Chains A and B, each alone.
Chain A
Amino acid sequence: AQSVTQLGSHVSVSEGALVLLRCNYSSSVPPYLFWYVQYPNQGLQLLLKYTSAATLVKGINGFEAEFKKSETSFHLTKPSAHMSDAAEYFCAVSGDSGGSNYKLTFGKGTLLTVNP
């Protein structure tokens, strides 16, 4: 079975500082990995996805993530935080040996706060 662990339920950074949100996954087959962002009272917006084409994935709003198979990690980074980045971020995985390539399994989320 697949699972996702997001280390740190709350991350606080200063505006202009590096953002690093951690995600580790468990999957018996090569996974498909996603990062989503959720603003209050809204649905989830796709930031980026990894589907085995390249290990460093660039997404929207200046975010990127690197797939590291040896560490089973897919951490999300942004060089310089902006106030508008304050939101909850979810890492998700899909695709497993059971053929359940349709559903996303999410982590519990990381709330990012950006201080002026």
Chain B
Amino acid sequence: DTGVSQDPRHKITKRGQNVTFRCDPISEHNRLYWYRQTLGQGPEFLTYFQNEAQLEKSRLLSDRFSAERPKGSFSTLEIQRTEQGDSAMYLCASSLDGSFGGQPQHFGDGTRLSIL
């Protein structure tokens, strides 16, 4: 069990640029989640995948945000035309499937995005 891996750990970019983050989940986990955490707040749910299917994306913050998980393994989160307000920590988590909500989610160390 190598844990959830996120890349890069830090990203600094200018306003208006596009950014893409990668997440590699724990290998046997078929659920993958993206959260955003701003300073002084708890993580906020964005979207999740079951295998390659994106089953919930209504909480993505705007149409500038998109996520993919093409082969049901790693996932990418893209933000287009970044804005100052996008500065945050972006966290990825994975879990086993479960018919109930009790499966714990395991988090990566996050990607910290800073918009200049």
Contact = CB atoms under 8 A, between A and B. Distances in A.
Are A and B genuine complex partners? yes
Interface of A: 4, 9, 31-32, 34, 36, 41-46, 49, 51-52, 90, 92, 94-95, 100-109
Nearest to B106: A46
B102 A44 contact: no
Contacts, number: 72
B76 interface: no
A26 to B, nearest CB: 15
A46 B43 CA distance: 14
Given A43-B91, A102-B31, A108 B41 contact: yes
Interface residues of B, number: 30
B112 interface: yes
B107 A103 contact: no
B25 to A, nearest CB: 13
A52 B31 CA distance: 22
A41 B100 contact: no
Interface of B: 4, 6, 31, 33, 35, 40-45, 48, 55-56, 59, 91, 93, 98-102, 104-110, 112
Given A32-B102, A43-B110, A104-B35, 9 more contacts: A43-B108, A94-B101, A101-B98, A101-B99, A101-B101, A103-B45, A103-B59, A104-B43, A104-B45
A90 B101 contact: no
Contact of A90 (B42, B45, B109, B110): B42
